[in-house]
């Protein structure tokens, strides 16, 4: 009987410790920030245009940055550069999935990057069992190759204004007009000489 009591006491102790461990895990949190890079090519506007990025949770119950509405968060940034969404706090293990995209802007001279990224965040316990850790996987929607970062490239019409001009043939119409004007001037200048020569021939 003593052995049975000791066994039951040991089982009860393990259950109590497990409940304390679960509480400790629940109090642990993990903070993640999602970086995004925006690039602009061509004749970029001045002042820079404001771009809008959209992060959306596949399930509205998934953790999101503070200020999200119905599982969606919009981030507005001015001009190209490197940016980050506000921190997302995770306090439970699990697999969380999101989509990241850019909303179309208002410029009629820009082809906005419409790439949609699929983001999967896998939260698990670390090897010591006392901390949470996360693994991120980012893929362009429908793609099989993992992306190293979320990148959006917006392309504006015409070359950049700071690009030095080269002999690309864009001035050919101007050169042609100048040539015609030069020929016309030479023709007018030669007419008096021809008339004088004609008069001398008649007198002779």
User: Residue 127 belongs to a domain with what CATH number?
Assistant: 2.60.40.3050
What number is the average pLDDT over the span 78-93? Answer: 96
Beta strands 94-102 and 132-140 are: unpaired
Domain-located, residue 197: no
User: Model confidence at 10, in pLDDT bands (50, 70, 90)?
Assistant: very low
Q: Cα–Cα distance between 37 and 4 in angstroms, integer?
A: 64
What number is the average pLDDT over the span 125-147? Answer: 89
Which ranges constitute the DSSP H helices of the chain? Answer: 2-27, 172-203
Domain-located, residue 5: no
Domain-located, residue 66: yes
CA 180 from chain center: how many Å? 50
Domain-located, residue 84: yes
Has residue 139 got a pLDDT over 70? yes
Cis preceding-peptide flag for 36 (omega within 30 of 0): no
pTM for the whole thing? 0.64
What number is the average pLDDT over the span 34-63? Answer: 96
User: Model confidence at 22, in pLDDT bands (50, 70, 90)?
Assistant: very low
User: Model confidence at 62, in pLDDT bands (50, 70, 90)?
Assistant: very high
User: Model confidence at 141, in pLDDT bands (50, 70, 90)?
Assistant: confident
Count Cα neighbours of 83 within 13 Å in the Cβ-side half-sphere.
20
Q: Cα–Cα distance between 113 and 106 in angstroms, integer?
A: 13
Comparing CA positions, the residue from 85, 111, 80 lying closest to residue 100 is 85
Overall residue count recorded for the chain in this entry = 204
Domain-located, residue 149: yes
For residue 100, how many other CB atoms are within 10 A of its CB? 21
Rounded to a whole number of angstroms, the CA Rg of the chain reads 36
Has residue 198 got a pLDDT over 50? no
For residue 92, how many other CB atoms are within 10 A of its CB? 13
Mean pLDDT lowest for which of 2-16, 32-46, 55-69? 2-16
Predicted local distance difference test score (pLDDT) of residue 25? 40
Domain-located, residue 164: no
Comparing CA positions, the residue from 67, 64, 49, 2 lying closest to residue 156 is 49
Domain-located, residue 175: no
More confident residue, 138 or 22: 138
Domain carrying residue 76: 28-156
Predicted local distance difference test score (pLDDT) of residue 174? 54
Mean pLDDT lowest for which of 61-75, 79-93, 182-196? 182-196
Comparing CA positions, the residue from 88, 83, 76 lying closest to residue 136 is 88
Has residue 68 got a pLDDT over 70? yes
Can you name the residues that pair with 165 across neighbouring β-strands?
Answer: none
Split into its structural domains, the chain has a count of 1
Domain-located, residue 182: no
User: Is residue 129 within 8 Å of residue 138, measured between CB atoms?
Assistant: no
């Amino acid at each position: 009987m003593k052995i049975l009591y000791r066994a039951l006491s040991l089982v009860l102790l393990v259950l109590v410790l497990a409940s304390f461990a679960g509480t400790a895990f629940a109090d642990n949190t993990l903070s993640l920030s999602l970086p995004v890079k925006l690039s602009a090519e061509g004749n970029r506007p001045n002042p820079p245009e404001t771009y809008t990025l959209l992060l959306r949770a596949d399930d509205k119950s998934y953790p999101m940055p503070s200020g999200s509405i119905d599982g969606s968060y919009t981030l507005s940034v001015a001009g190209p550069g490197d940016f980050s969404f506000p921190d997302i706090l995770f306090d439970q293990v699990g697999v969380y999935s999101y989509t990241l995209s850019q909303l179309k802007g208002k410029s009629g001279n820009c082809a906005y990057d419409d790439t949609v990224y699929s983001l999967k965040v896998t939260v698990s316990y670390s090897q010591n069992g006392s901390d949470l850790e996360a693994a991120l996987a980012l893929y362009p929607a429908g793609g099989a190759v993992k992306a190293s970062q979320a990148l959006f490239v917006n392309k504006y019409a015409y070359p950049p204004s700071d690009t030095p001009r080269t002999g690309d043939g864009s001035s050919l119409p101007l050169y042609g007009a100048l040539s015609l004007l030069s020929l016309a001037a030479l023709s007018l200048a030669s007419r008096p000489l021809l008339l004088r020569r004609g008069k001398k021939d008649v007198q002779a």
